[in-house]
Every structure is written in structure tokens, then in C-alpha cells.
Structure 1
Amino acid sequence: MIFDPADESEYVGPPVDAEMIRRAEDVLQVRLPKSYVDLVSVQNGGVLRNRCFPTEFPTSWAPDHVCLDVIWGVGGAWGVDVVSPRLIAEWSYPEIGIVLGITPSAGHDTMMLDYAECGPLGEPSVSYVDEDRVPRRIANSFSEFLHGLVSCRTYGDDAD
């Protein structure tokens, strides 16, 4: 289970259907990865159970990992199609793709589906964007990212 089973937060969006996915892709002008569509079809966003992802580089968050608290779904008040374009403009994130959700820093850093190399119809990687706004690849795909999430207790954090 990717999401926290006790999550009843505002970040869980309405049930997803094919039309919602199509509308989100139209707004974002990309094809969403199948693994992302599969995830939001089960639960449309929410608080993650395991929130930390290992990195091979230091970040403003930690010397060896990053943290993502929430993955946004599609549609609704917290859908990637609603929030991501606004945050890219507001926080001056690079225009490489889609902001995935909320980090503990609440905007100073983020994680994004990165379409820079694959183009809008390809399979995006996942990049971490720190305060310097330079995208750094942390996973080759969204699926790899999901499978690489671990409990933050692994790092002695109490984030989960």
C-alpha cells in the first residue's frame, strides 16, 4: 500500500475515470505515466505511508535522502492539473513537467515528473528540484520512484 491507510485528508481526490485523466493530460500537455494513472485509479492522491527516497547527493532536506509527504491525484482541489502549473510559476520551478506533491519544506524544494529528455508523450523520470532550481534525477520512472520509497525511520527521521 502506497498511501497511509488512515489518510482521510483533503488531498484524496474524487474517484478517477478516463475523462478526468484525459482532461488532466490536456491541461498539462503531457501523457501521464501508466504507473501514475494506475495509482490514482486506486486512490486519487493522498498522504504517503513511506515518504523518503534515497539520493546519491546531499539536499537541503538531508545528506542522503528526500521526503515527499503527499502525492497529488487528478481533478479536485489538489489535482496535479490544478496545482502544478500554479506552483511552477509561483516557486520558479523549472518547466520540465509536473510537480508531484508536497514536501516538508512546503515549496522550497519539490519532486517532479521530468519530461525534459523524453518529451510530452514519453515516460518521464522523477527529478528532485532543490532551492537552486536545478533538476536532479532520482528515479528513471514514476514506478521506480514508488518502489524506492522507504520509511523515513530508516534515516532516523520522524516524518512518518
Structure 2
Amino acid sequence: MEKKIFSGFNFKDFWSDNEYSDEYPTDEIVLSIENELGYKLPISYIEFMRHQNGGAPTNDCYPTNEETSWAFDHIAISEIMAIGRSSEYSLCGELGSLFMIEEWGYPDTGIYICTCPSAGHDMVMLDYANLNKDGEPKVVHVDQEYDYKKTIIANNFETFIRGLVTSDNF
């Protein structure tokens, strides 16, 4: 029996804003974005964005075992990028994944999916250079301040989302 993606997950309380949404990620839009970025999005990311296509999460921190330029024991995110082009911080938006690679010099090994409060000095990405045993990209924190050091933070996108906690934990 196959495990259902995000089974039992509380989508209602996940987002701190309900106003942010790019166009609804239809199959055609998803395929177009994947072609533009050069990577296939994980099913979990696509399904998650079909509940709300991007925005700021209520729980905006993820614990780490390594120090980053943000903190000794966690990273913080500002928003999760939508699948689309029309919002500034959507995957293919004005300040999306390709912008971070082409303009900021971030490694071109995946798709940047989360902005961070550092205004571009660190990002969260789906890293296709680091695949899990199921062939899905791991979620990594990329730190410009540490010469674009990658820190693996989750084995897959769903684990990353389920592991987000409030900053009150730190």
C-alpha cells in the first residue's frame, strides 16, 4: 500500500497568509515550469502547491545540526515559492530560481524554493545533485555568506514541510 502524500497534514493552519497565490498550478503550467527550469518537480511539491500556491508559512524555521550564517541550530524561511511566473517570488518569477542562479551566482544544481529573511544571502533549494534513495531531490540550505555552502536539511520536500517549527523553539 502506497503512502498518501501529506496524509493527515493540517493545510488550514500552515500558511500565515492566505492572500499570496500565483496562478493555479495546472498540469500544463507545471510542465512549462519544469521545462524552463530543467528539472522535474517532486510530486509532493506539486500537490502541496495545489492547496495554496506559495506564501509565508506560520512555522518558518527548520532545525539543523550544523551552523549556518543565520544561526547555530536552525534556518529561517520567509516564503515558499509558488509554481508559476506572475508573482515576483514564484519559481519562474522576476526574483525566482533562475534569477538566484544567474544574478546572485547560486549553484545551478536544482530549484530554489524558499526565500530567507537575509534578503538573498541564503536560500533553500531542491538539490538534484543530492538525491534520496527514491530519486527525489534532498532539501538543502545554500549559504552565500559561507561560499555557497550546501547543508542538507531534509531527505525530501514533505519531510521539510512537516519539520518546520515556529521561531519560538529557538
Aligned-pair RMSD on alpha carbons?
Answer: 1.7
For the residues of structure 2 that align with 1:136 and 1:102, how far apart are their CA atoms? 15
Of residues 62, 66, 71, the one that matches 1:62 is 71
Answer whether contact 1:94 1:134 (CA < 8 A) is retained: no
For the residues of structure 2 that align with 1:107 and 1:60, how far apart are their CA atoms? 12
Of residues 19, 31, 36, the one that matches 1:8 is 19
The equivalent of 1:139 in structure 2 is 154
Give the structure with the larger helix fraction. Answer: 1
Of residues 45, 66, 73, the one that matches 1:36 is 45
Aligned pairs, number: 151
Q: Deviations over 1:36-64 (max 9, x none)?
A: 00111111101111000000011111110
Gapped regions of structure 2 (runs ≥ 5): 1-10
2:99 is the alignment partner of 1:90: no
The alignment's TM-score, normalised by the length of structure 2, stands at 0.83
Q: 1:117 deviation in Å?
A: 3.1
The alignment's TM-score, normalised by the length of structure 1, stands at 0.88
Q: Which amino acid aligns with 2:129?
A: A
Q: 1:101 deviation in Å?
A: 2.2
For the residues of structure 1 that align with 2:38 and 2:115, how far apart are their CA atoms? 22
Q: Give the SS at the match of 2:33.
A: helix
Q: 1:96 deviation in Å?
A: 1.3
Identity %: 39
The equivalent of 1:49 in structure 2 is 58
Q: 1:109 deviation in Å?
A: 0.8
Gapped regions of structure 1 (runs ≥ 5): 156-160
The equivalent of 1:154 in structure 2 is 169
Q: 1:118 deviation in Å?
A: 3.3
